[in-house]
Amino acid sequence: MAQRNVFDAIVVGSGATGGWAAKELTEKGLRVILLEAGRKLDPEKDYRMMTWPYELKYRGAVPQTQLFNSRQATQSKCYACTEYANHFFVDDIDNPYTTPAGKPFDWIRGRQVGGRTIMWGRQSYRLSDYEFKAASRDGFGEDWPISYNELEPYYERVERFIGVSGQQENLPQLPDSVFLPPMSMTCGEHLLKRAVESKWKDRRVTIGRVAMLTRPHQGRAACHYCGHCERGCDTHSYFSTPGSTLPAAMKTGKLTLRSDAVASHLIVDPKTGRARGVAFIDRLTKRAHEVFGRVIVLCASTIESTRLLLNSATRQHPEGFGNSSGALGHYLMDHTYSISVGGIVPEVSRYPYYWEDGRNNGAYIPKFRNIGEKHPNFLRGYGIQASAARGMHPEHLRRTPGFGAEFKRLVRETPDTPTFWMGAFGEMLPRFENRVTINKEVKDAWGIPVAHIDCQYSDNEREMAKDQIATMREMVDAAGWRTQWSNPNLAAPGLCIHEVGTARMGDDPKKSVLNKYNQMWDANNVFVTDGACFVSQGCQNPTLTMMALTVRACDHIVERLKRREL
C-alpha cells in the first residue's frame, strides 16, 4: 500500500482567514495544503478596475438584477455583482440553499482563490470590550471567552501587515488601530463632521478605517483612487489574499494550493472520533479526493464551515461534527442593513472636483447608543457610514430616483453638486432560533447536501432601525445636506454580507463549539477561525477581527504541535 502524504495542516477556504492561516502556519515551518472551492484568477483577464462602460457587452445599462436573474438572482442583489464583477460571485443554480417560507436570507458568496477579499468593502474596525463583554453590560447572551486586551496584539500584527489607513480618535468603543496616514474627507464630509460634533457631544465623525494603502507598503503600491475596488485591483492596493498573504505563504515553499476543491466533509477516525482529513470533489471533473493532515483549520466562511461540520456527522458525532453541545448551527447573525438616506450637498457645488472624490471610502460615525446612558427601546448599537462626493455624471444619474417631472427636477439640481449617501449598520442579537441546518433533500452541483438557513430579525433590531433612520435624518439636516430619498426598510438578513455565529467560542463546552483559541471542544485538532466562531457581533465590520483571531489560533496550533498535544 502506498504511503499517505499527511500534511501538518489542512486549511479549508482561501479568503481573509484562510490566507492568514496559510501564511502564519507556513512561516512557522508547517507543511500546509490550502483547499479552495473556486478557481485561481488571472488578474489580466478577471480584474476590470479600469474597464469603461463601452467595453462591456451591455454597457452597464441593464440593471444587474435583471441581467443576471437566471443564474445569480440572489448574488445580483449585492451592489458589487455588476457586469464588471459578477464573475467573482457564485452561480446560484449550482450553489443552492434553502430557507423557510417567508424568511428570506440573501447569502452572498464568492468562490475563487481569495474568496470575498477580491470584492469586499475593506472597512476595518477593531471590536472593544463593549462587544467582547456585552452580556455583562446588558444581560443578553454570553460574553466572549476573550477580552480586548487578549486580542489587541493580534490586531496589531494583522494591521502592520495588511495596512489600514485611518485617524486616531481615542474612543473606548472603537479602539484605534496601527494606522497608515488617513485618507482626507471631502468638503461635504467636513460639513457633516462640523455640524454633528458641535451639536452632539457623544457623536464623532471620522474618516473610514480601510485596508487600503495611502503609501507604498509591504511591496504593494499606494491606492490611486480609481474607486473601483470591487472589480479587482491590479496594484494590490487594498488587502486581498492573492495580493498579500498568499504570496507570503508561497514564498516559504511549504504551501500547496489546491484550487477547484469543493470540500464535502471531514474524514473521521472511526476509533477515536478525531478528524484525519478532508474529503473534496474536483469542481471541474467531479471526481472525489481525500487529503490528510494533523490539524484542520476551517476558514470556508461562516455558513460554509458550519455546513461542512454538519455534513460530517458520524457515529461519534451524530448531530454534526463537534456538536456535543447542540450549539452548532445556532446563533446566526448579520448586521441590520439598508436603512439609509441620500441626496445632494448644495453648499459644495461651487467647488471644483477634488482628488478625494475618487476615493473608495467615506466618513464613519462610531456607535454612540448604549455607551453611557441605556436606550429605552433596544440593546446594543449601530455605526453609520457616509460619503459625500462627486462621481461620473452618467453613473450618478442611474441612481437618481423618481420619474417624469420629479426625475427631471432632480437631474437639474445635480449637474455640479456632490451627492451623498448615509447608511446604518446595526448589531443583531445572537438568538438560538436563528440557525443553519442541512437540507438533505437538496444538493448542490457536486452532490453535497445544502444549507437550510432559518434567520429573521427580532423586535430589538426593528426598534433599532427606527432610531437609525431618525438619527440619520437629523444629522443630515444639521449638516445642510438636502435629502432626496430615504429608505426606512430593513433588507433581508444576509445582504450586509457580515454573517457570523453558528460555531461559537466559549468557556463552557456544554454551551459552545469552540474554546477561547478557536479549538473544537470535541476534537482538539480542528479549529474554526472564520466568522462562525463569533459569540456576538457588535456593529463594526467583522473581517479584521476574524483575521486577528486566526493569527492567535495559529500561534496556539504551533505551540501545541511543539508540545505534541495535537
Q: What average pLDDT does the segment 218-237 reach?
A: 95
Q: To 5 degrees, how large is the angle CA 358–CA 359–CA 362?
A: 120
> What are the structural domain ranges in the chain?
1-43+65-72+79-94+106-159+239-334+434-447+499-566
Where helices occur in 14-147 by DSSP H, the ranges are 16-27, 43-46, 64-67, 129-132, 134-138
pLDDT for the residue 1: 38
C-alpha cell at 25: 502556519
pLDDT for the residue 357: 81
Note the pLDDT tens digit of each residue in 516-554. Answer: 999 999 999 999 999 999 999 999 999 999 999 999 999
- Of 1.10.760.10, 3.40.50.150, 3.50.50.60, 3.40.1440.60, which CATH number belongs to 1-43+65-72+79-94+106-159+239-334+434-447+499-566? 3.50.50.60
d(CA 563, CA 566): 8
d(CA 506, CA 501): 12
Q: Which residues contact 472 (CB under 8 A, 6 or more apart)?
A: 339, 340, 341, 384, 422, 424
C-alpha cell at 334: 448579520
| Amino acid type, 497 | I
Q: Which residues contact 12 (CB under 8 A, 6 or more apart)?
A: 18, 35, 263, 278, 296, 297, 298, 299, 300, 305, 308
- With a cut of 70, say whether residue 301 has pLDDT above it: yes
C-alpha cell at 265: 466533509
Neighbour tally for 392: CB within 10 Å: 11
Note the pLDDT tens digit of each residue in 332-380. Answer: 999 999 999 999 898 887 777 677 788 999 999 999 999 989 999 999 9
- With a cut of 50, say whether residue 198 has pLDDT above it: yes
Q: What average pLDDT does the segment 91-111 reach?
A: 98
Output the pTM of the full model. Answer: 0.95
| Amino acid type, 54 | Y
d(CA 424, CA 446): 38
Tell how far CA 62 is from the center of its chain. 27
pLDDT for the residue 409: 76
